[in-house]
């Protein structure tokens, strides 16, 4: 028998979209990040479409995108995911964490240039 497909939670879709936006703004292809994760392009694209991303892979994605995921976030995500699985209630706080970890490229402040202007 085939397993029934799991419908992704809203926060998982948000995470995938945030990763896609950052990857796209850096000009990286799905194959580039997939190689670093030791995944095929298709497997990686599933992560961007809302599949549950294992925390070790999330850390690697963060490093590749230039947004390393701090351990305090990993611990909090792990706790909330466990709680979500036990209660089967979506943890909306995860969406806020994902937005903080992987901000929209337009929201990231540009580095301030130093130098003489006159």
DSSP summary character for residue 19: H
What is the count of structural domains for the chain? 1
Checking if the pLDDT of 46 tops 80, the result is yes
54 lies in some domain: yes
Residue 117 lies in a domain: no
In a domain, 115, yes or no: no
Identify whether 47 is part of a domain: yes
Overall pTM > 0.85: no
Give me the domain span that covers residue 20: 10-101
**Is residue 110 one of the residues assigned to a domain?**
no
Confirm whether 1 is domain-assigned: no
Give me the pLDDT at residue 116, please: 42
Task: Let me know: does 62 contact 98? Beta carbons within 8 Å.
Answer: no
Structure tokens at 59: 């850390």
Assigned domain for 106 exists? no
Provide the pLDDT confidence category of residue 108 given band limits of 50, 70 and 90. low
* CATH assignment at residue 36: 1.10.260
What share of the chain has pLDDT > 70, as a percent?
Answer: 88
Averaged pLDDT score across all residues of the chain = 87
């Amino acid at each position: 028998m085939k397993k029934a497909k799991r419908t992704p939670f809203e926060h998982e879709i948000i995470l995938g979209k945030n990763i896609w936006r950052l990857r796209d703004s850096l000009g990286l292809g799905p194959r580039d990040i997939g190689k670093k994760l030791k995944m095929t392009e298709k497997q990686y694209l599933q992560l961007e479409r809302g599949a549950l991303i294992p925390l070790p892979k999330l850390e690697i994605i963060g490093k590749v995108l230039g947004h390393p995921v701090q351990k305090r976030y990993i611990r909090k995500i792990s706790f909330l995911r466990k709680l979500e699985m036990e209660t089967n209630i979506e943890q909306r706080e995860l969406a806020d964490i994902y937005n903080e970890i992987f901000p929209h490229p337009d929201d990231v402040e540009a580095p301030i240039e130093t130098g003489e202007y006159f």
